Structure 1
Amino acid sequence: MASKYITLPKGISEEVFDAAVKDFRRVLGEASVLTNAEQIAPYTKIMMSVPESNHTPSAAIIAQSVEQIQEILAICNKYKVPIWPISTGKNLGYGSAAPAERGQVVLDLKRMNRILEVDPDLCFALVEPGVTYKQLYDYIHEHNYPLWLSVPASSAIAGPIGNTLDRGVGYTPYGEHFLFACGMEVVLPNGEVLRTGMGSIPKSSTWQVFKWGYGPYLDGIFTQSNYGIVTKLGFWLMPAPPVYKPFAIQYEREDDIVEIVETIRPLRIGNVIPNAVVIAHALYDAPVKAKRSDYVTGPGAITDEAVQRIMKDHKLGAWNVYAALYGTLEQIEVNWKIVTESFGKSGKAKILTEKEANGDPAFEYRAALMRGDMNLTEFRLYNWRGGGGSMWFAPVSQARGSESLKQMAMAKRILGKYGLDYSGEFIVGMRDMHHVIDVLYDRTDPDQMKAGHDCFNELLRTFAAEGYAVYRVNTAFMDTVAHTYGPVQRQVHQTLKKALDPNGIIAPGKSGIR
């Protein structure tokens, strides 16, 4: 007999699930428990190279308070029903809102969207999971607070809690988002509420200003994990600088990446350039200005000759460096002299300020991100090839030119083998680089689906064999990545899971942890 549900949680009968859904409705109300196909559709859309059916939820439930979450967890423990918590669900290219495993119940926290505090003097915010960057941005501007956000490329539609918990990054000096997090409220699987750091002290006035508290530091175990549900997060905001000077530097050859990184590294470590520098390949910037179909048709990766034509037609370098200076006019004048002298030594660099860029759309959207403004321009990447397929491949490397050249060559070779384009950028931290590559393919084409899947799998395994692990991955490949980190780390993760969540009800499979 056909089930009334699209699918059921693994190992749960329809009779048991009926009882759980009835209890969910008692706690949340009829309208906040979604079970039919039309209601669940927004939670099934993925961009990964696997069938949507692999990640179809059995239901979606929408909570509005900590107390409701506590009651939901009690129900889940009673019936052994697994839930997949999301905040805004805009995890594009990493899994979107869909659960890691078929049949899990999506716990949607979008209605928990209160901005609890913004302190303009100590420069911090405290928010709930459903708060978006756009909501917080508007709040700051409405109150005329001299504060800047650090946002990921998805800015307006994403939220600080979801992005920080997945250890996402932004483009201001506060761009390493978890580094600037300070204090969490977490509902544990047994329903208890933990406030990390100084938040465990009654009437604490230092929860959002001192990270460590007393004893072992716990915040990290609730990032990229399934040990609890974060319901509040504090994080530091950047004081608006008196002067902001964005700039771009273009290089004409791919092997110039060595010089670029060797020049940037001492400037970043020395804090001359204080923000996360982006080194974008021509094909990463091209979708802002061009269409792939204007330069190449048919199967196979785009040719080097076509890339050269795109560069010429749209005034792009093979590599396009985006960075900024922040501070007083005097500080910027001193640091700008250091920057221009450093990049000017070889004569290869073409340096552009806002004046020389003169409204260039690629420059403008990067300049917006580097000051924390709302911007979705980067997602024009999804129109480059079309077809809705996107998986972010994100290995980390040392900030060395030789490392970046090696990684680019490896990625281009593997992508080309499967007929896919290299759309990559390096985001330079202090001593590390996030090498972010968007593996783009057509989900409507079975051959490209297979190519995308096989390509991503080979990228993961080949890079891991060379000592390059990824720091974040989509839900279809979480087990694969977890294996690359070895058995000892996996055992520690699993030990923590069993201790905190013995019934395995929160997000089984997240980061390969069950």
Structure 2
Amino acid sequence: MTDKYVALPQGRSERDLDAAIKKFTAILGEQHVLTKAEHLAPYMKVMMAVDEKQHAPSAVLLASTVEEVQAIVRVCNEHRIPVWTISTGRNFGYGSAAPGERGQVVLDLRRMNKILHIDPELCTALVEPGVTYQQLYDYIQEHKLPLMLSFPAPSAIAGPLGNTMDRGVGYTPYGEHFLMQCGMEVVLADGQVLRTGMGSIPGDKAWQVFKWGYGPTLDGMFTQSNYGICTKMGFWLMPKPPVFKPFAISFDNEADIGAIVDMLRPLRIAQVIPNAVVIAGTLWEAGGANVRRSDYIKTPGATPKEVIEQIKKDKGLGAWNVYAALYGTQEQVDVNWKIISQVVQASGKGRLITAEEAGGTQPFKYRAELMSGVPNLQEFGLYNWRGGGGSMWFAPVSQARGSECDKQVQLATRILNKHGLDYVGEFIVGWRDMHHVIDVLYDRSNPEETKRANACFHELLDEFEKQGYGVYRVNTAFQERVAKTYGPVKRDVERRIKRALDPNGILAPGKSGIRI
């Protein structure tokens, strides 16, 4: 730390940063260049089990136009200043808003918050990075548009551009967000602006309806990478169906998880159930219902099974709690509901619960809202389970097969309990894949527990990798570790692309383990 700055970029002196800050201020104005500790505090608060100082920014830049972003990257090139870009959310569980490495300048695009276009007939949208799902939802409601959004659980404060760029997922039939993306505008490291797909043709009207354009399709290259800064993104919106029928299936036995997935997979592949199916464990659901561990037990360490059983009884939760929905006309919904009811009945496992039976109780209410495109923040109740502000999401991906499930749950539970932590997890069954999302919750105010959480996350990565499971996203403290999992050839190709597009390595060095 210097007298003037909280941190300095790696390899840069105070004089180097002074020169860059002077030019950033000329571009943005003094009020939009933040360097004081009190102004940087929101960008330093991490939930990872590492020292916050490791992720302290040197400054924050609040750009409002593409031209400002272009000017900023040119200054960064001139003075070799690394810049870490964020948009609307705080990326809880995956690293927060802090930069990937100490001293990087944060480029915050929240002021670029225009909804540029929505077409209610073609069901498309074009937005800037600062647009939140709540803002978009309010716009759709205000203009009475017959459209439905898809978003991740922390929906109100997150945004479609940022979530899609990190390949996040949602809970409607349009829940594979990158699949529904169509057209990007990207500022490259040299300040040039690239429009993908049909966007490079002057006057073209098909930018948000035809993904591919001509030649190589480049959009995916800019997701989970540091090859450019996305300043506009198009995506498809789902037409609002005349009938929406959310439902749950409750299972009392932990050992049923394999049978649940094998029962649901054919229904997902055939699109009888058109949205991603959530299979949430007891403690995940307890968190969503704002249950605190301290309400039941005061002693540290892993929560005993008998306590979890008591929570199940008190809150009416299953060992596994399935959430899905049907969409369409009344005739379509009735036919598919009959199929689902027969499949569940034939399995001899699980109890179907409709919205009428659940009433307005949590967690059914917020799950139904997510599946119907109504934003909320209910799932943040997870962070009250242990308290203390520690959260790291561990998210291995596998085939949607029942045989994958029980061994994953047992392996994860054993590792978590070994480190005095709880299994708080859910499976999300896609078309053919399955995300196993585990929230490693711990008390960051307790140094000893924080140390254990860090060791736990390392062990989860190591042991799941030995079983052939890789994660699809990870917090910034573990980016390099996860990148190694995917092997040297992939990493070499990524480095070659990085050197070609960003020879000075100014854009988010280390993002997804990619460097020049």
**Residue in 1 that maps onto 2:42:** 42
1:79-478 to 2 correspondences below 5 Å: 79-287=79-287, 288-478=289-479
Aligned partners of 1:2, 1:223: CA distance in 2, in Å?
34
Residue 295 of structure 1: how far off its partner (Å): 2.0
Q: Secondary structure at the match of 2:411?
A: helix
Residue 347 of structure 1: how far off its partner (Å): 2.2
CA RMSD of aligned residues (A): 0.9
Q: Secondary structure at the match of 1:386?
A: coil
Residue 289 of structure 1: how far off its partner (Å): 4.8
**Residue in 2 that maps onto 1:57:** 57
Residue 252 of structure 1: how far off its partner (Å): 0.6
Q: Please say if residues 184 and 234 of structure 1, whose CA atoms lie closer than 8 Å, have aligned partners that are also in contact.
A: yes
Q: TM-score, normalised by structure 1?
A: 0.99
Q: Please say if residues 289 and 362 of structure 1, whose CA atoms lie closer than 8 Å, have aligned partners that are also in contact.
A: no
Query: Which digits, 9 at most, give the CA deviation of each residue in 1:237-282, with x for residues without a partner?
Result: 0000010000000001111001100010000000000000000001
Q: Please say if residues 392 and 475 of structure 2, whose CA atoms lie closer than 8 Å, have aligned partners that are also in contact.
A: yes
Q: What stretches of structure 1 of length at least 5 have no aligned partner?
A: none
Q: What stretches of structure 2 of length at least 5 have no aligned partner?
A: none
Q: Please say if residues 397 and 404 of structure 1, whose CA atoms lie closer than 8 Å, have aligned partners that are also in contact.
A: no
Check 1:477–1:143 CA distance in 2 against 1; reply closer, same or farther (3 A cut). same
Q: Secondary structure at the match of 2:198?
A: helix
Q: Secondary structure at the match of 1:25?
A: helix
Aligned partners of 1:2, 1:80: CA distance in 2, in Å?
19
Percent identity over the alignment? 66
Q: Secondary structure at the match of 1:503?
A: coil
Q: TM-score, normalised by structure 2?
A: 0.99
Moved more, 345-354 or 27-36: 345-354
Q: Please say if residues 272 and 336 of structure 2, whose CA atoms lie closer than 8 Å, have aligned partners that are also in contact.
A: yes
Q: Please say if residues 289 and 314 of structure 1, whose CA atoms lie closer than 8 Å, have aligned partners that are also in contact.
A: no
Check 1:375–1:89 CA distance in 2 against 1; reply closer, same or farther (3 A cut). closer
Query: Which digits, 9 at most, give the CA deviation of each residue in 1:51-91, with x for residues without a partner?
Result: 10000000001101010111111100000000001101421
Aligned partners of 1:164, 1:51: CA distance in 2, in Å?
28
Aligned partners of 2:509, 2:2: CA distance in 1, in Å?
26
Q: Please say if residues 80 and 505 of structure 1, whose CA atoms lie closer than 8 Å, have aligned partners that are also in contact.
A: yes
Q: Secondary structure at the match of 2:70?
A: helix
In structure 1, what residue type is equivalent to 2:162?
A: G
Aligned partners of 1:151, 1:132: CA distance in 2, in Å?
10
Residue 338 of structure 1: how far off its partner (Å): 0.5
In structure 1, what residue type is equivalent to 2:247?
A: F
Residue 108 of structure 1: how far off its partner (Å): 0.6
Q: Please say if residues 291 and 384 of structure 2, whose CA atoms lie closer than 8 Å, have aligned partners that are also in contact.
A: no
Q: Please say if residues 290 and 381 of structure 2, whose CA atoms lie closer than 8 Å, have aligned partners that are also in contact.
A: no
Residue 346 of structure 1: how far off its partner (Å): 2.9
Aligned partners of 2:320, 2:213: CA distance in 1, in Å?
43
Check 1:87–1:2 CA distance in 2 against 1; reply closer, same or farther (3 A cut). closer
In structure 1, what residue type is equivalent to 2:95?
A: G
Query: Which digits, 9 at most, give the CA deviation of each residue in 1:299-354, with x for residues without a partner?
Result: 22111111111111111000000000000000011100100111111322111001
**Residue in 2 that maps onto 1:10:** 10
Q: Secondary structure at the match of 2:279?
A: strand
Residue 3 of structure 1: how far off its partner (Å): 3.1
**Residue in 2 that maps onto 1:72:** 72
**Residue in 1 that maps onto 2:19:** 19
Q: Secondary structure at the match of 2:179?
A: helix
Aligned partners of 1:366, 1:122: CA distance in 2, in Å?
28
Aligned partners of 1:2, 1:24: CA distance in 2, in Å?
19
In structure 2, what residue type is equivalent to 1:21?
A: I
In structure 2, what residue type is equivalent to 1:508?
A: P
Q: Please say if residues 290 and 385 of structure 2, whose CA atoms lie closer than 8 Å, have aligned partners that are also in contact.
A: no
Aligned partners of 1:399, 1:42: CA distance in 2, in Å?
38
Query: Which digits, 9 at most, give the CA deviation of each residue in 1:409-435, with x for residues without a partner?
Result: 111011010010000001110001110
Q: Please say if residues 95 and 475 of structure 1, whose CA atoms lie closer than 8 Å, have aligned partners that are also in contact.
A: yes
Residue 356 of structure 1: how far off its partner (Å): 1.2
Moved more, 224-233 or 357-366: 357-366
Aligned partners of 2:194, 2:436: CA distance in 1, in Å?
35
Aligned partners of 1:286, 1:46: CA distance in 2, in Å?
24
Aligned partners of 2:82, 2:299: CA distance in 1, in Å?
44
Aligned partners of 1:346, 1:13: CA distance in 2, in Å?
66
Q: Please say if residues 290 and 384 of structure 2, whose CA atoms lie closer than 8 Å, have aligned partners that are also in contact.
A: no
In structure 2, what residue type is equivalent to 1:216?
A: P
Residue 42 of structure 1: how far off its partner (Å): 1.0
Q: Secondary structure at the match of 2:280?
A: strand
Q: Please say if residues 3 and 14 of structure 1, whose CA atoms lie closer than 8 Å, have aligned partners that are also in contact.
A: no
Aligned partners of 1:257, 1:351: CA distance in 2, in Å?
16
In structure 1, what residue type is equivalent to 2:333?
A: I
Q: Secondary structure at the match of 2:414?
A: helix
Q: Please say if residues 396 and 435 of structure 1, whose CA atoms lie closer than 8 Å, have aligned partners that are also in contact.
A: yes
Aligned partners of 1:16, 1:119: CA distance in 2, in Å?
46
Residue 358 of structure 1: how far off its partner (Å): 2.1
Q: Secondary structure at the match of 1:156?
A: coil
Q: Secondary structure at the match of 1:190?
A: coil
In structure 1, what residue type is equivalent to 2:350?
A: A
Residue 294 of structure 1: how far off its partner (Å): 2.2
In structure 1, what residue type is equivalent to 2:467?
A: E
How many equivalent pairs are there? 514
Aligned partners of 2:60, 2:292: CA distance in 1, in Å?
38
Aligned partners of 1:103, 1:240: CA distance in 2, in Å?
45
In structure 2, what residue type is equivalent to 1:333?
A: D
Q: Secondary structure at the match of 2:230?
A: strand
Aligned partners of 1:24, 1:431: CA distance in 2, in Å?
47
Moved more, 344-353 or 276-285: 344-353
Residue 360 of structure 1: how far off its partner (Å): 1.7
Aligned partners of 1:510, 1:159: CA distance in 2, in Å?
20
In structure 2, what residue type is equivalent to 1:313?
A: D
In structure 1, what residue type is equivalent to 2:465?
A: A
Aligned partners of 2:376, 2:437: CA distance in 1, in Å?
18
